[in-house]
Structure formats: structure tokens, C-alpha cells
Amino acid sequence: MNETPTPARDMILLKEGEVVLKGLNKRYFEQKLTQNIRRRLKPLGRFRVNVLQSVIYVEPQDESADVDAAFEALKNVFGVMTLTRAVACEKDRDVILRTAMEYLDEPLRAARTFKVESRRSDKGFPMTSIELSQYVGGEINEAYDNLTADMHNPDFIVHLEVRDRAAYVHGAPTQGAGGMPVGSNGTAVSLLSGGIDSPVSTYMMAKRGLRIIPVHFFSFPYTSELAKEKVIDLAKILTAWCGRMFVEVVPFTHIQEEIRAKCPEEYFTIIMRRMMMRIADEIGRKNGCGALVTGESLGQVASQTMEAMQCTGAVASLPVLRPLVGMDKEEVIRLARKIGTFDTSILPYEDCCTVFTPRHPCTHPKLPKVEEAEAALDVEALVQEALAGRELVKLDPRRLHDDEL
């Protein structure tokens, strides 16, 4: 065994999630997925990415390729069900055995029970999967005193896959991000504040295959530069899941001052939210989006009752998706922690919504009353002025291990 060359560097095998269920659309989804994977790997060195029989092979091409960082980054790519670090070898039972014992030596030493599971898509291979498992399992059993075979509840499973181009050896797969490839279901504008909820709603809709354009309304000097930076930081964290994004930062100060000067106080918030929706809707239509996304949850605050949602939704031509609508705050917080946005969201910078909070907001607004209250504003001019002043911030996914994610 000692005279064998050192095994090839390991690579990454990805199994597709829902993508495989898509029948005729499968190719399109697969293309989106591999495109997203390639883009995500770009800053991490040279890799080759190709798909065969619903498995995506990610192979390092030279020393520039950082496989550890690639594995971390690919955990967040939607459309991937499982990821596994694997090593390829020649399709020969003894080479497979030797490779398994070298590559998986550490976990094999640590386990007490094990089994071998083989899959064979190359029907030209001279052994059946069961024969290969029995052969490799028998030899490993002999070689490791600490191990006994257990078919039902083993500590460790040696996976062998005999495929067209090579055989692959690996241990336990890691769960992927699930969902559908970003972009495979179109694009949406997501209203992104500095709070806990909207980063989570953004993540959830990206998981359903939407490319996201985040829009943030910014009320300088009522909210500080730091508040804007916080939102940019949140969006940066989200790029790990959503991929490359352009954040639209929209000046909102004049609109808020106009509302405060001309509208009844109990309607401040609802009118402000309607102005946000109008602007987001315009940005959405300019960018060919199919929906708007918000972090609203039913009954969470006065502006998130059914009546309030009717009033805010009424000014949008695009459907408003509210993925958190039926979730408890606890569930949202759990997700925020999981996706890495929570710690940034709870930093104490103000959001523009808190600047002009009415003392007694109307919790069950009637649309005609809101329209009447709003009539004092030159809505169209304010929308156009805000759109003209917007700033675009381009964000690329960063190397995750630089970011403590």
C-alpha cells in the first residue's frame, strides 16, 4: 500500500435539490445552478464545474483553488440538497479499497461500527454494488481492529460511487441550503430595513429562486450614516445566500418631512409605507421584477394588521410577497441567527420608521381615509424626486471564512 501515489486532491460532489423534480425545466434550472456555482467559486481559485446524472462535480484545477473555502461557500447555494467532499480514483476494486482506507482513515479509526454503501451507475463495472460493498467492507473489517460491521445503525458509512468517468469515495454528506437556484424564478425587489425581519424575508424569497434587488429607504440626517452602513452590512451578509446584488439606497427624508408637515399624525406610518411601496414598485418595474418582498408579519405592529396591509398593498402594481406573515418573532430570530444577520440587525442604529413614529397610530386604517389624508401630498413629484436621488451600491459575495460567518 505504501508504494501507491498520494491520492488526488479531494473535490466536491453536489446533489441537486428540487431541481431534479422539475422534468422539462430541469436543464434550465441546472444551468442556473451551475452558473451560480461558478460565479460563487470565482474568487476562490480555479475549479472545473460539470454536471452528470444530476450530480455536480466541482474539481480544483490547480493550487489556486481553495477547496475548504469552496465547500463553505457552496453550503449557501440554493438548489443544492447535499454536499460531500470526495476523492476520485480508478474504477478498480483494489484501488477503490486503497483510496477509501487512505482518504477515510481518520473517521474509520474513530468509529466503532461501520458499513459500506455502494452505488454503481456504470453498468460496465464488473461487480454489482452489493459485491463491491461486501468486498471493501470485508477488507476494512480485517484491517481495523476497532471496527465491526453494522448494517442498521453504523457510526460511520463509507460511500463508494462508481460513475462514468471514475469511482468516488466519500464519508457523510453535509446538508445543503435546499431551495431553488437564485434567479430560476425571476427577480424581485426586497424592501430591506436595518431590522431583524427583512433580511430573513429576503433570504426566504431568494431560497425560492428569486434574484433580489434590495431597496433601502434612508433618512439622513434623522438616521446616521451608520444606519446606512448597517443595512449595507446586512446586504453583504445576504450575498452569501443571494449572490451578487445591487442595493438601491433611496433618499426618504423629504418625503417624511412632507408627511409630517401635511398629514394627520395617526396616518404617518401607513402613508410612509405606501410611499415606500410606490417607489419600490417603480424600481421593480424598471428592472423587470415580478414581485415586491417585505418582512411584514401579521399583527406584529400597527402597520402590519390586515387593514394596514391592504392600504400598503393597494399602491403596488406588483404582487407583495410577505414570507414572514405567519411566523412568530421567535421563529424569525432563529432563522436570522442561522443565516448570520441577527447580530448585525440588533446593533442599535435607528431605522427611518422610528424617526416619526406617531403616538397613537391607526391600527385599522380604512383605505378611503388614508387616501384622503394623503391627498395633501404631491405624491408623484415626491416619488420621482426620491427615484432621481437614489444611489446604487454593488455587492459581491465575499470569501466566507474572512467574515466569521
Which C-beta is closer to ligand ATP: that of 176 or that of 195? 195
Largest Cα–Cα separation, the chain? 86
Which C-beta is closer to ligand ATP: that of 33 or that of 196? 196
Which C-beta is closer to Mg ion: that of 193 or that of 305? 193
For residue 191, state whether it binds ligand ATP (rule: CB under 6 A).
yes
Name the minimum Å distance from CB 195 to Mg ion.
4
For residue 344, state whether it binds ligand ATP (rule: CB under 6 A).
no
Q: Identify the helix (H) or strand (E) that includes residue 228.
A: helix 225-242
Residue nearest to ligand ATP (CB): 195
Rounded to whole angstroms, the Cα distance separating 377 from 251 reads: 17
Pick from 363, 350, 247, 258: which is nearest to 305 by CA? Answer: 363
Q: How many CB atoms lie within 10 A of CB 105?
A: 12
Phi, psi at residue 322, to the nearest 5°?
-125, 80
For residue 303, state whether it binds ligand ATP (rule: CB under 6 A).
yes
Residue owning grid cell 437614489: 390
For residue 192, state whether it binds ligand ATP (rule: CB under 6 A).
yes
Question: Is 184 strand, coil or helix?
Answer: coil
Rounded to whole angstroms, the Cα distance separating 108 from 115 reads: 10
Rounded to whole angstroms, the Cα distance separating 381 from 240 reads: 37
Q: Which three cell numbers stand for residue 271?
A: 402613508
Q: Which does 303 bind (CB under 5 to 8 A by kind): Mg ion, ligand ATP, none?
A: ligand ATP
x/- mask, Mg ion, residues 172-211, rule CB under 5 A, reads ---------------------x-x----------------
Residue of 17, 176, 181, 195 that binds ligand ATP (CB under 6 A):
195
Q: Which three cell numbers stand for residue 405?
A: 460567518
Site for Mg ion in 117-146 (CB under 5 A): none
Residue of 10, 161, 296, 374 that binds ligand ATP (CB under 6 A):
296
CA dihedral 318, 277, 370, 313 (to 10 degrees): 30
> What Cα–Cα distance (Å) separates residue 327 from each residue in 191, 322, 324, 332?
18, 10, 5, 7
Is the bond preceding residue 173 a cis peptide, omega within 30 degrees? no
Residue of 15, 300, 369, 371 that binds ligand ATP (CB under 6 A):
300
Residue of 196, 205, 309, 383 that binds ligand ATP (CB under 6 A):
196
Name the minimum Å distance from CB 199 to Mg ion.
11
Q: Which does 154 bind (CB under 5 to 8 A by kind): ligand ATP, Mg ion, none?
A: none
Site for ligand ATP in 266-285 (CB under 6 A): 276
Residues at the contact surface with ligand ATP, assessed by CB under 6 A: 191-193, 195-198, 215-217, 276, 294-296, 300-301, 303, 351-353
